[in-house]
Chain A
Amino acid sequence: MTKIQTMAWALLTAVGGVGGIFAGMALANALK
């Protein structure tokens, strides 16, 4: 990976991980 790709990967992973929590709350609610 280049430096830009590493930074993009880390940023997207962090944002995606946090965003996934909210998506998971919605998913868990939908599975009730």
Chain B
Amino acid sequence: MMFGGSSELTDDLTSVTAVAAGGGDPPVDPVENRRRWFAIAGATAGIVGFSAFLTTLYTGMRHVEAGGGFCASGGPYVIAHQCTAADTRQVFIGVIGMLIFGGLFVGLTAYADGPVLVPSGLLWAALFGSLGAGFVFLPKGTQSGSSNYGVGIPFLLMAAAGLWPAITSGLAWLRRGGEPEPETPAFGGNIPLVRAAVEAPAMNAPPSAPSAGPNKPVVPKRLVIPPKDGL
């Protein structure tokens, strides 16, 4: 509680320099806080777009699989399964949009000082998991071939690898009891990354006289040159 006329000024200064973060967090810079909120809003748009375009891609691929898992168009040969314009649009627009919005989501999450590895892994898992499942579990009435499993199972394994960061981070979070990760500097902060293997020479030390000791290497005092006649 403030007495006198300076309380309003003090409150104003407090609101300028920091805003209460809530949830027990220390006050944060308001400019930084605003930047994060804008980034979170953008990341939300990114995940909506990623999900929408991935669904579009999945729909297009699903239709191709229902038609035998292969389609082509153009060229000099007669093609059994012609690609429809809808398949082409859905797959190509789905791939491009998914990549753009996925990058937007991850980039803006990083800009908001949020996690990067776990959401990136989850996007990866969503992409390869949905497509892999689409290859393995075909629409009813579709004849399955070995190529479906040859592609679908590796896709599912790749999706599982994308889940790994989320699983390990989640387990670590549970082990900490929900507490945030402690921020400790590398090697405790007091061990240098690189250390010299030899002692540094003493600077500005007085010159010391050579002493003959038991560990001193034997150096010849005079160099004896052989006579030239013998050559």
Contacts and interface: CB of A to CB of B under 8 A. Distances in A.
Partners in one complex: yes
Interface of A: 1-6, 8-9, 12-13, 16-21, 23-25, 27-28, 31-32
Given A8-B40, A12-B44, A3 B24 contact: yes
Interface residues of B, number: 38
A8 B51 CA distance: 18
25 contacts: A1-B36, A1-B112, A1-B114, A2-B25, A2-B33, A2-B36, A3-B21, A3-B23, A3-B24, A4-B23, A8-B40, A12-B47, A16-B48, A17-B51, A19-B48, A19-B51, A20-B50, A20-B54, A20-B55, A21-B52, A24-B59, A25-B55, A28-B55, A28-B59, A31-B56
Chain A interface, DSSP helix/strand/loop, else mixed:
helix
Given A8-B40, A9-B40, A23 B48 contact: yes
Contact of B56 (A2, A3, A12, A27): A27
In order of increasing CB-CB distance, the 6 nearest A-B pairs are: A20-B51, A24-B55, A3-B23, A24-B52, A28-B59, A2-B21
A16 B99 CA distance: 16
Chain B interface, DSSP helix/strand/loop, else mixed:
helix
Contact of B51 (A2, A6, A12, A18): A18
Contact of B112 (A4, A9, A24, A32): A9
A31 B58 CA distance: 13
B119 A13 contact: yes
A3 B28 CA distance: 12
Nearest to B27: A2
Interface in B111-146: 112-114, 119, 126
